[in-house]
Amino acid sequence: MKSDEVGLRRLLPADDRATADLDDDALAACYENAGASWLRVNFVSSLDGGATRDGRSGGLSDAADRRVFDVLRRLCDVVLVGAGTIRAEGYAGMSVDAVSAQWRTAHGLAAQPRLAIVSNRLALDADDAVFADAVTRPLLITSRKAAADDGVRFARVADIVECGAESVDTGAIAGALAAIGLPRVHCEGGPTLFAALAAVDAVDELCLTLSPLLVGGHGPRITGGAADLTTRMRLDTVLSGEDTLLLRYLAERGADRDGAGRNG
């Protein structure tokens, strides 16, 4: 733990460790994947259910959230993000720091996770910093149609992963990433992508930071889009850092399968 980082404690499951601040390895152990192929989603929300403050998630985040956010990036092969979040948040040169890169290689992962952007329309600028400043070549997940119509624009800066014929087949995203050696998927949003993944039962885990803020307004929730969801999840772990709660929920179906992941 760095000197400017906030201490995190484990409230659930409750045992002796609950009273002690978690070091980085203990924190990583709280987020062990239950299956070889795994799709984790991470969001921060205000107490009143807002997913943004002034149009972005950063205003909801704090030191506790950032610590878990960094650990989750450490544990994955690929960071999956919807194009709307790329447009809103700025993912220029996404990378983990040197300590995390070293931790990753010591644990058999590539030094840096890949970034995979999901888009139907490919409404992205190939000169954008998300591509220009990338430390590993980004992946663009799109349909065969969009790839044929417009994919050439990105040939210089990204690898296209075709997933679906006319539009992206959301239920096939994790399989497509696993097929290219990226089975541990860490999705950082946004709400449209999360809702679409949940709607096809593709989410194994939700890590939700509950920020101690009320934000009001008409901003989005962590799921977006028109579809109603009836997804129930099972509470696995609760951490606290000052006034912030860090909740780990697993897909309810995991309970029926002895904690195994999608392919586990």
130 binds ligand NAP (CB under 6 A): no
Stretch that binds ligand NAP, among 9-17, 129-137, 183-191, 239-247 (CB under 6 A): 183-191
- Rounded CA gap, 40 and 28, in Å? 14
Sole binder of ligand NAP in the list 35, 82, 254, 261 (CB under 6 A): 82
- Judged by beta carbon, residue 7 or residue 171, the one nearer ligand NAP is 171
Torsion of CA 218, 224, 229, 233, to 10 degrees: -90
Sole binder of ligand NAP in the list 138, 151, 183, 224 (CB under 6 A): 224
Sole binder of ligand NAP in the list 8, 44, 213, 250 (CB under 6 A): 44
Three-class SS of 45-83: EECCCCCCECCECHHHCCHHHHHHHHHHHHCCCEEEEEH
52 binds ligand NAP (CB under 6 A): yes
Stretch that binds ligand NAP, among 22-30, 81-89, 99-107, 179-187 (CB under 6 A): 81-89
Stretch that binds ligand NAP, among 31-39, 72-80, 84-92, 256-264 (CB under 6 A): 84-92
Q: Which among 73, 108, 75 has a CA at the least distance from the CA of 91?
A: 73
Q: Computed over its alpha carbons, how large is the radius of gyration of the chain? A: 18
55 binds ligand NAP (CB under 6 A): yes
* Minimum separation from the CB atom of position 43 to ligand NAP (A): 4
DSSP classification of residue 174: H
46 binds ligand NAP (CB under 6 A): no
Contacts of 3 (CB under 8 A, 6+ apart): none
* Minimum separation from the CB atom of position 153 to ligand NAP (A): 13
DSSP classification of residue 21: -
Q: Which helix (H) or strand (E) holds 197?
A: helix 191-199
Q: Which two tokens stand for residue 159?
A: 């690898």
Binding site for ligand NAP (CB under 6 A): 43-44, 51-52, 55-57, 60, 82-85, 88-89, 118-121, 123, 168, 170, 188-193, 196, 220, 224
